[in-house]
Amino acid sequence: MSDLPIVLTGFMGSGKSSVGKVLAKKLACRFIDLDAEIVETAGRSINEIFAGEGEQAFRTLESAQLERVLATEGRCVIATGGGAVIDQRNREMLRKHGVVVNLKVTLEQVMERLQGCDDRPLLAGERAPERVRALLEGREQFYADADIRIDTDGKSVEDVAAVILCRLKGFSA
Protein backbone atom coordinates (compact mmCIF):
# COMPACT_ATOMS: atom_id res chain seq x y z
CA MET A 1 0.00 0.00 0.00
CA SER A 2 1.39 3.45 -0.83
CA ASP A 3 1.91 6.16 1.81
CA LEU A 4 -0.05 8.81 -0.07
CA PRO A 5 -3.20 10.31 1.42
CA ILE A 6 -6.36 8.38 0.56
CA VAL A 7 -8.80 10.87 -0.89
CA LEU A 8 -12.50 10.07 -0.89
CA THR A 9 -14.56 11.75 -3.59
CA GLY A 10 -18.26 11.47 -4.36
CA PHE A 11 -21.57 13.26 -4.36
CA MET A 12 -23.19 14.71 -1.25
CA GLY A 13 -24.59 11.81 0.77
CA SER A 14 -22.26 9.19 -0.70
CA GLY A 15 -20.85 8.56 2.78
CA LYS A 16 -17.38 10.08 2.40
CA SER A 17 -17.17 11.36 5.98
CA SER A 18 -18.69 8.30 7.69
CA VAL A 19 -16.63 5.87 5.61
CA GLY A 20 -13.53 8.06 5.96
CA LYS A 21 -13.68 7.96 9.77
CA VAL A 22 -13.97 4.15 9.81
CA LEU A 23 -11.25 3.75 7.20
CA ALA A 24 -8.85 6.06 9.06
CA LYS A 25 -9.42 4.09 12.26
CA LYS A 26 -8.67 0.81 10.48
CA LEU A 27 -5.51 2.29 8.98
CA ALA A 28 -4.58 3.99 12.28
CA CYS A 29 -4.12 7.33 10.54
CA ARG A 30 -5.64 10.82 10.70
CA PHE A 31 -9.06 11.61 9.21
CA ILE A 32 -9.46 15.04 7.62
CA ASP A 33 -12.81 16.45 6.55
CA LEU A 34 -12.12 19.14 3.97
CA ASP A 35 -15.45 20.93 4.58
CA ALA A 36 -14.64 21.10 8.31
CA GLU A 37 -11.21 22.56 7.51
CA ILE A 38 -12.84 25.24 5.35
CA VAL A 39 -15.38 26.12 8.05
CA GLU A 40 -12.69 26.30 10.74
CA THR A 41 -10.36 28.47 8.66
CA ALA A 42 -13.12 30.78 7.40
CA GLY A 43 -14.86 30.98 10.78
CA ARG A 44 -18.18 30.64 8.99
CA SER A 45 -20.51 27.77 8.08
CA ILE A 46 -20.77 26.55 4.49
CA ASN A 47 -24.28 28.01 4.30
CA GLU A 48 -22.92 31.38 5.44
CA ILE A 49 -20.07 31.33 2.91
CA PHE A 50 -22.44 30.47 0.03
CA ALA A 51 -25.00 33.08 1.14
CA GLY A 52 -22.50 35.84 1.86
CA GLU A 53 -19.83 35.43 -0.79
CA GLY A 54 -21.26 32.95 -3.28
CA GLU A 55 -20.25 29.52 -4.54
CA GLN A 56 -17.12 30.72 -6.35
CA ALA A 57 -15.67 32.12 -3.12
CA PHE A 58 -16.36 28.76 -1.46
CA ARG A 59 -14.57 26.96 -4.34
CA THR A 60 -11.52 29.19 -3.90
CA LEU A 61 -11.36 28.34 -0.18
CA GLU A 62 -11.89 24.66 -1.01
CA SER A 63 -8.98 24.59 -3.49
CA ALA A 64 -6.70 26.38 -1.02
CA GLN A 65 -7.49 23.91 1.78
CA LEU A 66 -7.05 20.96 -0.55
CA GLU A 67 -3.65 22.21 -1.65
CA ARG A 68 -2.57 22.85 1.95
CA VAL A 69 -3.68 19.45 3.23
CA LEU A 70 -2.10 17.56 0.33
CA ALA A 71 1.17 19.44 0.80
CA THR A 72 1.40 18.87 4.56
CA GLU A 73 -0.10 15.45 5.26
CA GLY A 74 1.40 12.02 4.63
CA ARG A 75 -0.74 8.92 5.01
CA CYS A 76 -4.22 10.05 6.08
CA VAL A 77 -7.81 9.78 4.88
CA ILE A 78 -9.34 12.93 3.39
CA ALA A 79 -13.07 13.35 2.75
CA THR A 80 -13.53 16.01 0.07
CA GLY A 81 -16.71 18.00 -0.53
CA GLY A 82 -18.85 16.69 -3.37
CA GLY A 83 -17.86 19.53 -5.70
CA ALA A 84 -14.11 19.50 -5.09
CA VAL A 85 -13.52 17.46 -8.24
CA ILE A 86 -15.17 19.97 -10.58
CA ASP A 87 -11.99 22.02 -10.80
CA GLN A 88 -9.42 20.53 -13.16
CA ARG A 89 -6.46 21.71 -11.10
CA ASN A 90 -7.96 20.13 -7.98
CA ARG A 91 -8.34 16.85 -9.84
CA GLU A 92 -4.74 16.98 -11.02
CA MET A 93 -3.54 17.65 -7.46
CA LEU A 94 -5.60 14.75 -6.13
CA ARG A 95 -4.36 12.29 -8.72
CA LYS A 96 -0.76 13.39 -8.26
CA HIS A 97 -0.59 13.52 -4.46
CA GLY A 98 -3.24 11.03 -3.36
CA VAL A 99 -4.94 7.73 -4.02
CA VAL A 100 -8.38 8.77 -5.22
CA VAL A 101 -11.28 6.58 -4.11
CA ASN A 102 -14.69 7.50 -5.52
CA LEU A 103 -17.88 6.45 -3.74
CA LYS A 104 -20.69 5.97 -6.25
CA VAL A 105 -24.20 6.79 -5.16
CA THR A 106 -27.62 6.80 -6.88
CA LEU A 107 -30.07 9.69 -7.06
CA GLU A 108 -32.47 7.73 -4.84
CA GLN A 109 -29.82 7.19 -2.16
CA VAL A 110 -28.85 10.86 -2.20
CA MET A 111 -32.45 11.98 -1.74
CA GLU A 112 -33.05 9.43 1.03
CA ARG A 113 -29.85 10.15 2.94
CA LEU A 114 -30.06 13.93 2.75
CA GLN A 115 -33.76 14.26 3.50
CA GLY A 116 -34.23 16.94 6.15
CA CYS A 117 -30.61 18.17 5.98
CA ASP A 118 -30.36 21.93 5.80
CA ASP A 119 -26.59 22.33 5.58
CA ARG A 120 -26.22 21.72 1.82
CA PRO A 121 -26.84 25.07 0.07
CA LEU A 122 -26.88 23.42 -3.36
CA LEU A 123 -29.86 21.29 -2.32
CA ALA A 124 -31.91 24.07 -0.73
CA GLY A 125 -35.13 25.27 -2.35
CA GLU A 126 -37.47 23.88 -4.97
CA ARG A 127 -37.00 20.96 -7.37
CA ALA A 128 -34.09 19.39 -5.46
CA PRO A 129 -34.38 15.95 -7.17
CA GLU A 130 -34.13 17.50 -10.63
CA ARG A 131 -31.13 19.56 -9.59
CA VAL A 132 -29.45 16.59 -7.93
CA ARG A 133 -29.95 14.53 -11.10
CA ALA A 134 -28.40 17.26 -13.26
CA LEU A 135 -25.45 17.69 -10.88
CA LEU A 136 -24.87 13.92 -10.66
CA GLU A 137 -24.91 13.56 -14.43
CA GLY A 138 -22.73 16.61 -15.00
CA ARG A 139 -20.16 15.46 -12.45
CA GLU A 140 -20.00 11.78 -13.43
CA GLN A 141 -16.97 12.32 -15.68
CA PHE A 142 -15.12 13.97 -12.78
CA TYR A 143 -16.03 11.27 -10.26
CA ALA A 144 -14.91 8.65 -12.80
CA ASP A 145 -11.42 10.21 -12.74
CA ALA A 146 -10.38 8.02 -9.78
CA ASP A 147 -7.93 5.24 -8.97
CA ILE A 148 -10.64 3.12 -7.39
CA ARG A 149 -14.44 3.33 -7.67
CA ILE A 150 -16.76 1.68 -5.17
CA ASP A 151 -20.48 1.08 -5.65
CA THR A 152 -22.04 1.95 -2.26
CA ASP A 153 -25.54 0.72 -3.16
CA GLY A 154 -26.84 -1.63 -0.45
CA LYS A 155 -23.58 -1.50 1.51
CA SER A 156 -23.13 -0.33 5.10
CA VAL A 157 -20.40 2.14 6.06
CA GLU A 158 -18.37 -0.79 7.45
CA ASP A 159 -18.85 -2.77 4.22
CA VAL A 160 -17.65 0.14 2.08
CA ALA A 161 -14.58 0.70 4.29
CA ALA A 162 -13.75 -3.02 4.11
CA VAL A 163 -14.03 -3.03 0.30
CA ILE A 164 -11.76 0.02 0.08
CA LEU A 165 -9.17 -1.60 2.34
CA CYS A 166 -9.21 -4.69 0.20
CA ARG A 167 -8.83 -2.72 -3.04
CA LEU A 168 -6.06 -0.55 -1.54
CA LYS A 169 -3.99 -3.62 -0.75
CA GLY A 170 -3.63 -4.33 -4.43
CA PHE A 171 -2.94 -0.71 -5.27
CA SER A 172 0.51 0.78 -5.54
CA ALA A 173 0.62 4.38 -6.69
Q: Give the binding site for ligand S3P (CB under 6 A).
A: 12, 16, 35, 46, 81-83, 120-122
d(CA 82, CA 88): 14
We find the least distance from the C-beta atom of residue 120 to ligand S3P, in angstroms, to be 5
Q: Which is nearer to ligand S3P, 5 or 83 (CB)?
A: 83
We find the least distance from the C-beta atom of residue 49 to ligand S3P, in angstroms, to be 9
| 3-class SS of residue 116 | coil
The answer to whether 14 and 114 have CB atoms below 8 angstroms apart is no
Q: Which is nearer to ligand S3P, 5 or 81 (CB)?
A: 81
We find the least distance from the C-beta atom of residue 122 to ligand S3P, in angstroms, to be 5
Q: Which is nearer to ligand S3P, 2 or 57 (CB)?
A: 57
We find the least distance from the C-beta atom of residue 35 to ligand S3P, in angstroms, to be 5
The secondary structure of residue 121, as a DSSP letter, is G
We find the least distance from the C-beta atom of residue 170 to ligand S3P, in angstroms, to be 27
The secondary structure of residue 44, as a DSSP letter, is S
Q: What sign does the dihedral 141-132-43-48 (CA atoms) show?
A: positive
Q: Which is nearer to ligand S3P, 36 or 148 (CB)?
A: 36
What are the phi and psi torsion angles at 155 (to 5°)? -105, 145
| CA distances, 162 to each of 47, 150, 165 (Å) | 33, 11, 5
Q: Which is nearer to ligand S3P, 1 or 44 (CB)?
A: 44
